[in-house]
Amino acid sequence: IKKVTTHQLQAMKSRGEKISMLTAYDFSMAKILDTAGIDVLLVGDSASNVMAGNETTLPITLDHMIYHATSVVKAVDRALIVVDIPFGSYQGNSSEALRSAIRIMKESGAHAVKMEGGAEIKESIQRVLSAGVPVMGHLGLTPQSIYKFGTYTVRAKEEEEAKKLIEDAKLLEECGCFAIVLEKIPANLAKKVAESLTIPVIGIGAGADVDGQVLVVHDMLGITKDFKPRFLRRYADLDRIMTDATKAYIDDVKSQDFPNEKECY
């Protein structure tokens, strides 16, 4: 199997082939997604929400991220694996950013890291890139800054914030990032950014006119059911399927239907 590289993502943008990306946090799920042919797997700090049950992404630690990344790396033959550097492990300190990125790459075997923000974290991004670690940027709604924004509503609707986002996107490309995620911004703004950059722009809640799409896998498979933003399309109702299966199992245990004779030694 030919592995997906950052260079191939660039080539995909050049020929107009859209990039498919999903999150993954564990071995079994990553194996399914990779075998299905996903291009990029993001070991997102959304693990803080969907794996650990936290309300925000802030509590997850670098050690936790490395644990998830290590599990995903073991499962994957083809996809490019990108790992979020968690809150508190790169902002405002480029030496710490470099240390965090190197730990992720060395201990998990992943292929790239992702960091949230533009000009504010320029030094950290440059430092990580200088070590030969590919960096994916992330602009728009950046959940690690949720207490600055106050809400999870659409970002960059006003002209000033849109202007800063365009400048930040250009800056990330100039620094040498291999791709950028744009989260929850108006579709026409995302389109403008994707057209003006040569590197791939991957959207989540950023419309169709970008170079690829990413979703949190638990949302896309319908495991989480209370999270219902407009941008989320559910491709399965695993909540239903898993609930039904669990109830059937409980019934069979109670009624002594399970195990039967063939299921015994």
Catalytic annotation present for 183:
yes
For the stretch 95-105, what's the b/e string if a residue is b when 16 or more beta carbons lie within 10 angstroms of its beta carbon? ebbbbbbebbb
Q: Of the residues 17, 159, 183, 195, which is catalytic?
A: 183
Residue 110, interface with ligand KIV (CB under 6 A)? no
Considering only 12, 181, 194, 201, the residue that binds ligand KIV (CB under 6 A) is 181
Least distance to ligand KIV, CB of residue 189, Å = 17
Considering only 24, 29, 39, 45, the residue that binds ligand KIV (CB under 6 A) is 45
Residues 80-119 that bind Na ion (CB under 5 A): 84
Nearer to ligand KIV, 45 or 211 (CB): 45
Residue 183, interface with Na ion (CB under 5 A)? no
Q: Is 116 annotated as a binding residue?
A: yes
Tokens 């960091």 identify what position?
A: 115
User: How far is residue 99's CA from residue 178's CA, in Å, rounded to a whole number?
Assistant: 20
**Phi, psi torsion values for 80, nearest 5 degrees:** -80, 130
Residue 204, interface with ligand KIV (CB under 6 A)? yes
Cβ-based neighbours of 57, under 8 Å, separated by 6 or more? 45, 46, 48, 49, 84, 86, 87, 143, 144, 146
Cβ neighbour number for residue 79 with a 10 Å cutoff: 27
According to DSSP, the β-strands at 112-114 and 80-84 are: parallel
Using CB atoms, what's the residue nearest to ligand KIV?
A: 44
Instruction: Let me know: does 80 contact 39? Beta carbons within 8 Å.
Output: yes
Q: Is 95 annotated as a binding residue?
A: no
Cβ neighbour number for residue 44 with a 10 Å cutoff: 29
Q: Is 130 annotated as a binding residue?
A: no
Secondary structure (DSSP) of 20-82:
EEEE--SHHHHHHHHHHT-SEEEE-TTHHHHTT--SSSTT--HHHHHHHHHHHHHH-SSSEEE
Q: Per-residue string for binding with ligand KIV, 134-173, x by CB under 6 A?
A: ----------------------------------------
Considering only 23, 89, 108, 224, the residue that binds ligand KIV (CB under 6 A) is 23
Q: For ligand KIV, which stretch binds (CB under 6 A), given 10-18, 25-33, 42-50, 118-126?
A: 42-50
Considering only 110, 169, 216, 220, the residue that binds ligand KIV (CB under 6 A) is 216
Which residues sit at the interface with ligand KIV, rule CB under 6 A? Answer: 23, 42, 44-46, 84, 181, 183, 204, 214, 216
Q: Which residues are catalytic?
A: 183
